[in-house]
Amino acid sequence: MTTADINTAGRGRTRRTLDGWYETGRGENRIAAMEGLRGLAIVLVFICHFQMVILSRLADVFQSRLAVTCAELGGTGVDLFFLLSGMLIYRASMRPRVHYGRFMMRRIQRVYPAFLAVFVFYLVLSLVFHMGEHYKGNGLLDQFRYTVANLLFLPGVLDMPPVISAAWSLSYEFSFYLLIPILVRLLRLTSWGRFHRVAFWAALIIGYIAFVLLRPNFFPHYHAQDSSYVRFTLFLAGMIVEEVLSTHRGLKLLSVRVQAALLLCAGIALGVLIYSEIHTVKTLAHGSPTHAGIRAILVLVLYTAISFATLQPRGILQNLFNHVTLRWTGNISYSFYLIHGFTLNVFAVVVAHLPWAKAHPTVAAPFLLVLAFAGSFAAATVLFLAIEKPFSLSHPKPVQDKLRPAAGLGTAESAS
């Protein structure tokens, strides 16, 4: 056997090992590009938090409007997760004879194991190292209530900070899980025509965003990710994407030219979003209901267009999001989402003791980004293999309709 043969065999073994770790999809009908979209989403979220936790502490240059705008754009990764969750949960809710109890048990099985592992880890850190500022100065009863509220995913939609800072979005996710099957049944949506359902969800999106823009004083301002809850509209956008991509007519409508036009609209929306963020960062308008409403419109256009151009057999972005690196990152994105805040804070402590990084911050930043991402990816891999994959993903999956964008949908539930 030649050296080249040995190297090829070694690469083959390594690839099979990594496939065993990171691949989660089953069945020939899945569209792997959805896994890649989730990979993009978690990379965006990581960039946002990397700027907030590390770069902003490293040098004043990383607190400029441009740097903060990059972080804000990274935060839109959560909105992409919401859209993908909207597709998945809506599809499950529209199946004939959905049993609500089993539906919710599946959601609980999907979300809680990894969350509880990280949550207990944080509590141990709080007790042993006195790291939990939310528990300091509170009595046992208040601490107990706060713990229960976090276990019920109340922070994010209520006025309280979460123990796991990134877990605010699970409040949105779980609220959607609870409500959409009930709404489908109450309105008997399965008996509606597809056009009427799309029109209904579109009207809800337009109506609610218009209400947010016209009546900004209606919404309270508190310490949460969204004072107007307008980000719920991304779930509805995902439902519309699911409706369109589930029919021959919808797929036929989305020709290559139409997809190109949609991506042009997405590019315009991205440009306007960047412009608006630069001019509202660190102003009174930033974070207001009006700002949230405008941002929601732009993000909705951006990710809806990208989804249409990706999650179908003729999607012009499909090859990009089929890349194995993005897919593997997407498959562990839920574990990554939960644990990367801890790894970034540990990394920030290390960086604080590196004089060369402070002396040359712009040179050090790219290296720190790669190292921090690698550390977070490694920690997420451990959590994924030890908890998420065996306890949340080991279940038989139904055969999906070939026309539906079933891109690893068992794993898409972790969009959070």
**For the ranges 8-12, 66-70, 217-221, which has the lowest average pLDDT?**
8-12
Interval 132-186: pLDDT, tens: 666 665 678 888 899 999 999 999 888 888 999 889 999 999 999 999 999 999 9
Read off the pLDDT band of 191 (50, 70, 90): very high
Nearest Cα neighbor of 37 from 107, 93, 85 is: 85
Give the DSSP letter string of 58-101.
Answer: H-GGGGSHHHHHHHHHHTTHHHHHHHHHHHHHHHHHTSTT--HH
Q: What is the pLDDT of residue 219?
A: 83
CB neighbour class for 407 (10 Å; exposed up to 12, middle 13-18, buried from 19): buried
pLDDT digits (tens, 9 = 90+) for 109-124: 999 999 999 999 999 8
What's the average model confidence in pLDDT over 365-381?
97
pLDDT over 90 at 4, yes or no: no
Range with the poorest average pLDDT among 34-38, 70-74, 218-222, 233-237: 218-222
Task: Tell me the pTM.
Answer: 0.91
pLDDT at 151: 96
Name the residue among 327, 333, 403, 246 with its Cα closest to residue 25.
Answer: 327
Which amino acid type is present at position 258? V
Closest CA to 200 of 180, 215, 218: 180
Q: What tokens were used for 204?
A: 């809800």
What band does 279 get if pLDDT is binned at 50, 70 and 90? confident
| Res. 299: pLDDT tops 90 | yes
> What's the pLDDT band for 64 if we cut at 50, 70, 90?
confident
For residues 401 and 413, give the distance between their C-alpha atoms in angstroms, rounded to a whole number. Answer: 18
Over range 19-39, report the average pLDDT. 82
The residue among 301, 160, 151 whose CA lies nearest residue 241 is 301
- Give me the long-range contacts of 261-266 (CB less than 8 A, separation at least 24): 262/304, 262/305, 262/308, 262/309, 263/305, 263/306, 263/309, 263/316, 263/317, 265/301, 265/305, 266/301, 266/302, 266/303, 266/305, 266/306
What's the pLDDT band for 412 if we cut at 50, 70, 90?
Answer: very low
Model confidence at 208: pLDDT above 60: yes
Q: What does the longest C-alpha to C-alpha distance in the chain come to?
A: 75
As given in the structure block, the two tokens for residue 241 are 């994407």
Mean pLDDT (the chain, rounded): 87
Q: What is the pLDDT of residue 401?
A: 39
Q: Report the b/e string of 251-265 with b at 16+ CB within 10 A.
A: beebeeeebeebbee
Residue whose pair of structure tokens reads 């090859």 in the numeric block: 319
CA separation, residue 16 to residues 11, 19, 22, 23 (Å): 9, 5, 10, 10
What is the mean predicted confidence (pLDDT) over 351-362?
90
User: Which range is least confidently modeled, 16-30, 93-107, 198-212, 252-266?
Assistant: 16-30
pLDDT of 400 strictly over 90: no
Which comes out higher in pLDDT, residue 298 or 126? 298
CA distance 322 to 36: 6
Looking at 74-78, 159-163, 217-221, which range is the least confident one? 217-221
Average pLDDT of 291-300? 94
Q: Is residue 8 over pLDDT 80?
A: no
Looking at residue 221, its pLDDT comes to 67
pLDDT band at 319 (very low <50, low <70, confident <90, very high): very high
d(Cα 230, Cα 292) in Å, to the nearest integer?
Answer: 7
Residues 6+ apart with CB under 8 A from 238: 82, 83, 84, 85, 86, 87, 88, 90, 307
How far apart are the C-alpha atoms of 332 and 330, rounded to whole Å?
5
The confidence score (pLDDT) of residue 60 equals: 81
Q: Which pLDDT band holds residue 410 (cuts at 50, 70, 90)?
A: very low
**Which of 24-38, 46-60, 380-394, 395-409 is predicted with the least confidence, judged by mean pLDDT?**
395-409
pLDDT confidence bin for 282, thresholds 50/70/90: low
DSSP states of 259-296 as a string?
HHHHHHHHHHHHHHHHHHHHHHTTSTTTTSHHHHHHHH
Give residue 180's pLDDT: 97
Q: How many helices, marked H, and strands, marked E, lie in the chain?
A: 20, 0
Residue 272 predicted with pLDDT over 60:
yes
pLDDT at 257 over 80: yes
Give the pLDDT score at 348. 94
As a whole number, mean pLDDT of residues 325-353 equals 95
The sign of the torsion formed by the CA atoms of 85, 88, 91, 94 equals: negative
